[in-house]
Chain A
């Protein structure tokens, strides 16, 4: 099997290198073929792995590829850990990536950077696979930064735009703030376990439950709490949790295919995956779980609110992504790791579908992204319309759709949780269901129904996008509908994740959910009469009334609550505050240190001052050298007198 695992990561890498270095020679078609074949091979091999591990129940594979460094008996290596969790992740990643590759042929058709784009997304696939297949923290960090690098390159893909290069820099730096915590977390792991290997660390984890450290002198903190919170700060950066979420909406400056692949389906879920992978550590610290459980609901609810008022089609979907990442984080906080991964997977499909659908709309609208200038598109682009509707239904959690199964499992799990913060979380995620439904249908109605508000030129040219664009939509729509019903049983309540996730018995909320679970169909039927579905319907009705029946109402509401609207439109002022405190603050601190510290104090006073002092002393001393004989004779006599006096007086 080792060759299969190697093939999965190396095939996309090979494609990326060929398309990147020889893009000009192999041409456009060559670039998309070599990368699509690479990712396609990775996908097929991933299916083999899925069958091998999940269906045939093979033992987890854990082995070294090569030793990166050997120091003090600690082996830092590049290696693979492939178990059921990994198998699910690689299938999701490679499938969505393959769809995005195909879609890109259509979307980037006229772009000058065609080959470069394919090279980047194949490289991204490689880095993401390295991340999820890692068997140690070092390689995890490699993949972690690798996807960050490609994200940076792709957000700034259209490098001529100031806004794009700004957004890419912002994304990288905000992620670096998260990495700051993540790297310290890795250092804490090494200190605690003297190894960075997952197997060693997880095996020894229970012994560490009671160990404390003093970060602030005199105060004992549990080492595992400190470690887990540090690691989670990394996840907050990558998975865009409040207050490190600010980069994700801006990342929409990148081309739409990567918004689907990187900033919705895969990379941003790396933090979720990481915490699930680290479940043996997080389970040891209820404080850390509570911390997770505070961050998650805030993100889920407050980012959802922003989806209601924004008008850029991609930004609305981006806020939806933030909100859904919040849901996954909530699931992690209540120890429902399988539910988090389950939602991660279903979300990957329907959110990629929504993004690619949005991209299809954008192509048809000649790169107009403002939903106030759309409307009535359903009759021009039926495939996009239907698939987008399917994505929307999955997102809001319509019983039977995949998103329903994953989201309802999270809601149920939070309901049964008793750790600190779960009450607040339950309220937030429930309200979030209404909000999700409302902003989703608002978007859907404004884009596909109602009055056609575009200009005549655009309207005259509206038509369905080509097959390379619609085919991935259809292929993504299928799992968006069925994957939840098919996999909820084995993944959540069976032994789908094998031993790859550890949950302490006292935290095992999914066990309670399982008691009420009697098959996927029953779960869906039960869902129809549940509170969440009522909230979904309420959200739908609100959107229907406001945007279909009484389109003049939203404007009035906006005027009535102008102040609140203003704050929300400015995204709760996070950007303004960060810019004035960190960007401007950092620059003025740098200038101060430079002008007053380096140039003023050190150079001005000490270095050049020292030189001046020497010069001054020399100038004074020079007056002694008069050149007149009598001055020297006088000095000699005085000197002789002083010496004699000293000898005599002694």
Chain B
């Protein structure tokens, strides 16, 4: 019976319609708007669960497919479906939205209904991005997603929010325009917007190279990769806590997802030819950004830079496959790299979300994000300190937490492609621990730093619930990642088979 329901449409449109309903409840009635938003978010998450439980792990084919003609003139269709890459990200999106609604509960006092609605609509659009199998549909969701985020930062953001929103918008828009050109070009070749048709499209190396760079501009800004990352720290600093959480936990993942869905399968030869570029940029992200994160004075900026460094592992894991294949002549270990990148995406969703929530908890009390304004928080907020240390350790990649799994897999995989790749990537062990634990030391430990810290109250029940949910996710994924990786195996194998066959 489950399979007959249009599950994907439900998880896309239910939160969007729910968001609109919240808008109608209106800002005059914040209590009812919040409860309605929470109900919608929880229900959306519950609706998304059958995607996991009814998922067939033995096939790489798209599942839960839905197909309807949309714009017949362009042969564009409302075509949805998920595989082992998109399904976990959809669940992550639905899960994080629940937390964001809880996080904004008492904090947002201004235009509450609009705030909640923005996040619910955002949820539907992001899930749409992951579920779309039609390139035009994908593009529509991809761009539409910018609007709620633009509003979230622009309305509920900090003092420099106008600069941040413009930078965010122009940066991402700049990238995606080139992606659109590539999509239209391929539409002209294939006479279809079906992404799966694009995968089979024979393209010369010149065409592939152009398309590769067009996609790279679109996705690298989202990830973000060095050197197109500078919008992220500004956006995070100005965004409200919930905005930061969604930005870090989900929207960055859309860049990584784009590489898997478009770049690798559509332009395999160009990817093989230019893999050094992505790998170099990834390692620059890990090391260069690691050092930059070390000297940040603003907690949110520090976590933002840490996000960039961690996302470096995602792109590294995705593109290690070519070097590995050239170096060893077989694909042993390649799946570990790609799945490692995927695990890193999900894990980073939890951890960065949790860290931004932690900063939010402090910011709500002290109205400062400067590390120097804190010190000795453990004395007044012991429960919070325990959470912060846990998430800090997860960010530093401690085994037993989810942060370890992806990095471990990517390092193991890259060692097979070359010792020095793994050597450079492993710097994250030291740098990640250095910037995270130094942050923890300065904020959490020590004697009470000032009179404001002395007056802090520990986390309340609501905050404990949201942090506990994330702590459980981080530990579960760290202690037992198999439930996540096992849904990807077939999809990853299929991708690897696909991209090692030349299109020329």
Contact = CB atoms under 8 A, between A and B. Distances in A.
Contacts of B230: 598, 602-603, 607
A420 interface: no
B419 A215 contact: yes
A369 interface: no
A597 B379 contact: no
Interface in B423-443: 423, 426-427, 429-430, 433-434, 437-438, 441
B481 interface: yes
Interface stretch (B135-143, B275-283, B392-400): B392-400
A590 B400 contact: no
Contacts of A165: 441, 445-446
A176 interface: yes
B379 A160 contact: yes
Contacts of A153: 389
Given A145-B399, A593-B291, A602-B227, A177 B446 contact: no
Contacts of A68: 479-482
Contact of A72 (B293, B335, B398, B411): B335
A597 B288 contact: yes
B447 interface: yes
B253 interface: no
B226 to A, nearest CB: 8
Contacts of A145: 398-400, 404
A159 B446 CA distance: 5
Nearest to A141: B399
Chain A, interface size: which category? 35 or more
B458 to A, nearest CB: 13
B378 A159 contact: yes
A437 B485 CA distance: 56
B296 to A, nearest CB: 8
B494 interface: no
B79 interface: no
A467 interface: no
B288 A593 contact: yes
A67 interface: yes
Contact of A587 (B294, B427, B437): B294
B30 interface: no
A68 B399 CA distance: 12
B482 A598 contact: no
Contacts of B408: 183
Interface string A61-91: 0000011111110000000000000000000
A68 B415 CA distance: 21
B194 to A, nearest CB: 30
A180 B398 contact: no
A71 B400 contact: no
Contacts of B335: 71-72
A186 interface: yes
B433 A180 contact: no
Given A142-B399, A149-B398, A590-B291, A173 B415 contact: no
A618 B21 CA distance: 43
Contact of B336 (A72, A146, A603): A72
Contact of B295 (A70, A141, A594): A594
B339 interface: yes
Given A69-B482, A586-B294, A142 B336 contact: no
Given A68-B481, A173-B434, A159 B445 contact: yes
A110 interface: no
Interface residues of B, number: 58
A187 B445 contact: no
B335 to A, nearest CB: 5
Contacts of A66: 480
B437 A172 contact: yes
Nearest to B397: A145
B376 interface: yes
Nearest to A181: B426
A146 B400 contact: yes
Interface in A89-144: 141-142, 144
A17 interface: no
A483 interface: no
Interface in A600-614: 602-603, 606-607, 611
A381 interface: no
A162 interface: yes
A156 interface: yes
A541 interface: no
A179 interface: yes
Interface string A167-201: 01100110011011001101110110010000000
Contacts of B376: 159-160
A145 B408 CA distance: 13
Given A71-B485, A180-B430, A598-B292, A160 B412 contact: no
A194 B332 contact: yes
B111 interface: no
B422 A184 contact: yes
B63 to A, nearest CB: 21
A279 B288 CA distance: 38
Nearest to A71: B336
Contacts of A72: 332-333, 335-336
B161 interface: no
A188 B288 contact: no
A358 B451 CA distance: 38
10 contacts: A68-B482, A69-B481, A71-B335, A72-B336, A153-B389, A159-B378, A173-B437, A184-B415, A190-B415, A597-B292
Given A142-B400, A149-B398, A173-B433, 15 more contacts: A66-B480, A68-B482, A69-B485, A144-B399, A156-B441, A159-B376, A165-B446, A168-B441, A176-B429, A176-B430, A180-B427, A590-B292, A593-B291, A598-B292, A603-B230
Interface of A: 66-72, 141-142, 144-146, 149, 152-153, 156, 159-160, 162, 165-166, 168-169, 172-173, 176-177, 179-180, 183-184, 186-188, 190-191, 194, 213, 215, 226, 586-587, 589-591, 593-594, 597-598, 602-603, 606-607, 611
Q: Which 9 A-B pairs have the closest CB atoms?
A: A187-B415, A590-B295, A590-B291, A165-B445, A590-B294, A159-B445, A160-B447, A594-B292, A145-B399
